[in-house]
Amino acid sequence: MELLHVRSLNKSYGAHQALKDFDLSVEQGLIFGLLGPNGAGKTTFIRIVNQIIEQDSGDIRIKGEPLRMRHVRDIGYLPEERGLYKAMKVTEQLLYFAQIKGLKKQEALLRINRWLDKLDLTRWKENKIQDLSKGMAQKVQFIATVIHQPDLLILDEPFSGFDPVNAEIIKNEILELKRLGTTIILSTHRMESVELLCDQIALINRARKVLDGPVKTIKDEAKTNRFLVKLIPETPTMSLPWEDVVRREGWVEFTVELQGRQPNSLLRELMEQGEILGFEEIIPSIEEIFIQKINESHAG
């Protein structure tokens, strides 16, 4: 089922176009990566979905319905720039955030206790945020985002500011939420950090979507059919039939294209030239694919 549907979204700030004819379709229960450099338009898009700002034109549907104020109940949002009321107690604060999302007090308190227990914060529930460590405050922030069990969770640069231990905890919670059916949009400019987490991605550059689809498909399509080979030649000085051979101490390194052959038959050919140290398909990272796409679009 399509959870979020976006058609020809446009938004500009004065002369600056932040989003141009932006389309997006996010299926339910997936982790969707929204990738692109800073200033590409990610945050603008997220703010529009959160109804913080309004689009100039374009159509947004959530669960098939046109986006309305009541949908704030269905969305959880962790902004890139985030904070808490420092002088408020943990429970008080979470209760406030839950209530302004539309949760009833009793229900909210039950959930708050469950989450505090889960993230090991129960003993701090009556403490003010200013008395907590940064890591603990970040966990509270995460709870505030998910406390109302949103169908759609939007996380803008979720791992920035988290220490590695907490980042891991949060990552596991995200995966758990996904198992429970939550749809998650992850937005980041650090593409390598979410490549493994995302089922689908969209690449954004300069207000436009450059590319989108399942991570696997995108990667398969970007395959170059080239392999990186490391081997020790029969004799150190023998001439090799490949281009761009880099000679190391006692071994050489180069790339070969399959050119219609099967990898195994290529490997057999290579084995005749010496002892194989390494044989690995070159798969471009999402970032490399992104850069390549942008270069193509500039050239075209």
Partner 1 sequence: MPGKILLVIKREYLARVKKRSFLLATLITPLIFPTILGLFLWIALTDLPTESRRFIEVVDENNAYFLESNEMYAFSYEGLDREAAKVLVEEGQRFGLLYIPRLDLENPKGIVFYCEETPSLTTIASLEAALEQKIEELRLFNSGIDPAVLSALKTDVSVQSVIVGEPGGDRVSHAVVNYAVGFIAGILIYTFIFVYGNQIMQGVIEEKSSRIIEILVSSLKPFQLMMGKILGIGAVGLTQFLIWIVLIGAVSSLVMGYFGMKMPQQQLMEMSGQPGVFPDTGQQDVGEMLQLLQGIDFLQLTLAFLIYFVGGYLLYGAFFAAIGAAVDSPSDAQQFMFPVTIPLLIAYMGLFIFVLDDPNSRVSYWLSIIPFTSPVAMMGRVSFGVPWHQLALSIALLVAGFLVTTWMAGKIYRIGILVHGTKVGYKVLWKWLTDNN
Residues that bind partner 1 (CB under 8 A): 47, 50-54, 56, 69, 72, 75, 77-79, 81-88, 96-97, 99-101, 144-145
Q: For residues 141 and 121, give the distance between their C-alpha atoms in angstroms, rounded to a whole number.
A: 12
Q: For residues 296 and 39, give the distance between their C-alpha atoms in angstroms, rounded to a whole number.
A: 20
Q: Which residue, 138 or 200, has its beta carbon nearer to partner 1?
A: 138
- Least Cβ distance, residue 286 to partner 1 (angstroms): 27
- Least Cβ distance, residue 155 to partner 1 (angstroms): 12
**Cα Rg of the chain (Å, integer):** 24
Identify any residues that bridge with 65 across adjacent strands, giving them in sequence order. Answer: 62
217, two tokens:
């498909």
Identify any residues that bridge with 296 across adjacent strands, giving them in sequence order. Answer: none
- Least Cβ distance, residue 211 to partner 1 (angstroms): 28
Q: Which residue, 77 or 290, has its beta carbon nearer to partner 1?
A: 77
What is residue 130's DSSP assignment? G
Q: For residues 166 and 139, give the distance between their C-alpha atoms in angstroms, rounded to a whole number.
A: 8
Q: Which residue, 128 or 230, has its beta carbon nearer to partner 1?
A: 128
- Least Cβ distance, residue 96 to partner 1 (angstroms): 5
Beta strands (DSSP E) in 14-121 are 16-27, 31-35, 57-62, 65-66, 75-78
Please tell me whether residue 11 adopts helix, strand or coil conformation: strand
What amino acid is encoded at 124 in this protein? W
- Least Cβ distance, residue 66 to partner 1 (angstroms): 18
Q: Which residue, 72 or 109, has its beta carbon nearer to partner 1?
A: 72
Q: For residues 214 and 200, give the distance between their C-alpha atoms in angstroms, rounded to a whole number.
A: 4
DSSP H helices in 101-199: 105-118, 134-146, 164-179
Q: Which residue, 79 or 274, has its beta carbon nearer to partner 1?
A: 79
Of the candidates 126, 122, 124, 91, the one whose C-alpha atom is nearest the C-alpha of residue 108 is 91
Q: For residues 36 and 210, give the distance between their C-alpha atoms in angstroms, rounded to a whole number.
A: 9
What is residue 245's DSSP assignment? P
- Least Cβ distance, residue 60 to partner 1 (angstroms): 15
Q: Which residue, 54 or 272, has its beta carbon nearer to partner 1?
A: 54
H or E segment to which residue 279 belongs = strand 274-281
- Residue 20: count other Cβ atoms within 10 Å of its Cβ: 15
- Least Cβ distance, residue 10 to partner 1 (angstroms): 12
Q: Which residue, 99 or 225, has its beta carbon nearer to partner 1?
A: 99
244, two tokens:
């761009």
- Least Cβ distance, residue 69 to partner 1 (angstroms): 7
Q: Which residue, 95 or 210, has its beta carbon nearer to partner 1?
A: 95
